[in-house]
Amino acid sequence: MSYLIRSLVITLSLLLTTAAFAGNTSYYGSKFHGKRTASGSIFNMNAMTAAHKTLPFGTEVEVTNPKTKQSVIVKITDRGPFTPGRVLDLSKAAAGKINCKLCNTTMKILSYGDGKYRKQ
């Protein structure tokens, strides 16, 4: 599938989906700290970032832990989680801000990223 067609399919699917959703969220930290993410950036477990299976790289998402009512804004920089039943992997710092090692969260998309790979 060509890049243009693939981009159109992704864009249309994003427009047809809701901007808010919920799901199980976990975090990842020291094991991946300093390694390259799927977006090309270097993972920093102290940054406000997250991994999602399909959202474009650079997308900003507000993640809320309904139990604590705490929220954090993260940028999608990686792919994952790869554990069944989970929809988002937060950086260690982001998970700490909302007191979530493994919890159910709500997520609201604030802005869509361009999805480009950026080697830094």
Per-residue pLDDT of 28-45, as tens digits, reads 988 999 999 999 999 999
Q: State the residue for tokens 């970032």.
A: 49
**44 contacts 78 by C-beta, under 8 angstroms:** no
| Tokens standing for residue 55 | 């959202």
Strand partners, 51: 78, 89
- What pLDDT is recorded for position 33? 96
This prediction's pTM: 0.82
95 against 2, higher pLDDT: 95
